[in-house]
Structure 1
Amino acid sequence: MEEKKKLQDVSRQNSSIEARVLTVEETERLKKDDVLVSEFKQNKLEKEAKKNWDLFYKRNSTNFFKDRHWISREFAELLSGASEKVEPSERLTLLEVGCGVGNLVFPILKENPLLFAYACDFSPRAVQFVKENEDYKPDRIKAFQCDLTEDDLMEEIPPESVDLVTMVFVLSAIHPDKMLSSIQNISSVLKPGGMVLFRDYGLNDHAMLRFSKGHKLADSFYVRQDGTRAFFFSLVFLAKLFSDAGFEVAANEYVLRETVNKKEGLCVPRVFVQGKFFKKG
């Protein structure tokens, strides 16, 4: 019961300041979707989270996500020192959490030839795909399996040794009760003054409104058909989360996009949250 109350409190904290105003129809649809997944099933989903993500990568292999070439346009910090002559010991060190099959880390390694990257994922299968990539070079990248909510990152990475951390559509897959401890885990390997570069789903994103009845875990928190989960962030909730973990908010905003499906003649509104968070020195 205590866990259920914590989740309800988190959901209420997240329900403020929307990126876009819903239509009357959308508002009514959300109001009617008031039956939550049973506590038994929610506990089962938490226990089987790793298995569900591993099955996701078994089904989709390396073909599901496109390479994220946009990442350096949004976060120029990743190219710091790319054209400068620096000693190997001074090169930029990145940690990508939730690396998947490498759609972010490999493009950025090509763009910044002086970057060294740690890459971890919840799914052992995803990590194996990274290691099997022809661009995987041990002198440029170290990949490993990790559960951010339980495993100590310092078992793989020296404490306070990382300059930048990318969290791109990762935190939303973690149970809200475990988000704070996950960020604190990341903080343990980030240098004072180091930065987390963040992007994820925003409140009232089209993906949130597409869930049918029977998939709601709590306000802003849903389970997909395949057992993976998604949380949709408000800026207030995100800022508080990082502040509570000892970070300073440098940037925190909604990013509004439209996805066009020409085949079906649809244009749907997407809402993302994007931020930069400094670890206090």
Structure 2
Amino acid sequence: MDDLFVSRSQETLAKDTSVVPEFWQQKYRSDASRNWDRFYHHNTTNFFKNRHWTDRVFEELRPGHLFSEEKPILLEIGCGVGNFVWPVLERNPDIFIYACDFSKRAIEFVKQNEGYAQKRCQAFVCDITKDRLADTIPPHSVDIVSAIFVFSALPPEKQAAAIANIVEILKPGGRILFRDYGIYDIAQLRFKSGHKLENNLYVRQDGTLAYYFSKERLHELFVQHGGLVELDNDYVISRLKNFKKNIDVERVFTQARFQAPIDSGLLEKAMTNTQITIPAATSGETDGCGIIDMAMDMK
């Protein structure tokens, strides 16, 4: 991003000095899974397109990649209705995918899909900020964790806990593939007053949260707190044009890859350094600014 773009974006954001009242802030944070259940009840499986582009931007997802010597095991967090899962399963006959989401309704849609087969995929409900992944997935067994437009749905104060949870199931040398909304994205700039909870955190009209990441924030979370190695971390600028609707804007995404320490002792140290305890699992549209601010899938 050039300096002029950053300066203009900062000026736009500085004009919105109001924040959502504390009562509603807490309600939006605590009702996250309920609001996503409502989203999937309304949109079912029709909102997001299948993500056929992921293996173009992450080479680890390509068939025959030498990243894993054995049959690779992947965990997709925030899987929604499976738009990432189905293309990956189709192109990689040897891969096994765990898929989790904190929306029970989304997981039901995954299991009802004709492509769902337990020998190749296991879907389960999980809030990665509090439900221990290792209660379902063996510790240090996962080659790849995909985090595609999922961390933006988490309040900032819970993001580090989610990373600590993920580190526990990563193999030594396992990788996290990350893509999400970037700071100064047009959707952030067009939020109207009354949607801001705190810097870079907003609530959409349907009650779901949207956090916009900087590269520095990602480094802080995954490297400083999570103890992971940063392989790459940068912004991706995508121009969105729709002449019929007179739209010509820039979308800003963050894209990064992080790797667990290859030495198992260092991996255990990384888990300790997070200083976050994940408790055992318990039982049991548009954003109002004219731009769709949910996983804008690339064709």
Distance (Å, rounded) in 2 between the aligned partners of 1:193 and 1:55: 37
Aligned 1:62-211 pairs, distance under 5 A: 62-81=45-64, 90-211=70-191
Kindly report which structure 2 residues correspond to 1:209-220, keeping only aligned pairs within 5 A, or say none.
209-220=189-200
TM-score by length of 1: 0.88
Amino acid in structure 2 at the alignment position of 1:137: A
**Per-residue deviation, 1:246:** 1.3
Q: Could you tell me which runs of 5 or more consecutive residues in structure 1 were left unpaired when the two chains were aligned.
A: 1-16
Could you tell me which of 17, 30, 46 is aligned with 2:13? Answer: 30
Query: Quick one: distance in 2 between partners of 1:265 and 1:96?
Result: 35
Which residue does the alignment assign to 1:7? none
**What's the CA shift string for 1:3-42, capped at 9, x where partnerless?**
xxxxxxxxxxxxxx88872474x54432221111111111
How many residues end up aligned between the 2 structures? 259
Partners of 1:155 and 1:18 lie apart in 2 by 45
- Structure 2 stretches lacking a partner, 5+ long: 263-299
User: Which of 35, 38, 54 is 1:52 aligned to?
Assistant: 35
The one of 227, 249, 260 aligned to 1:268: 249
Q: Which residue of 1 aligns with 2:212?
A: 232
Partners of 1:175 and 1:40 lie apart in 2 by 15
- Identity of matched residues, %: 49
**Aligned CA distance change for structure 1 residues 165 and 18 (closer, same or farther; 3 Å):** farther
C-alpha root-mean-square deviation of aligned residues, in Å?
1.7
Contact 1:20 1:204 in 2 (8 A): no
- Match for 2:36: what amino acid? W
Q: Deviations over 1:71-110 (max 9, x none)?
A: 0011111125379xx8xxx310000000000000110000
Match of 1:278 among 232, 236, 259: 259
**Aligned positions of 1:1-12 closer than 5 A:** none
Native 8 Å contact 1:82 1:115 kept in 2: no
CA 1:116–1:20 in structure 2 vs 1: closer, same or farther (change >3 Å)?
farther
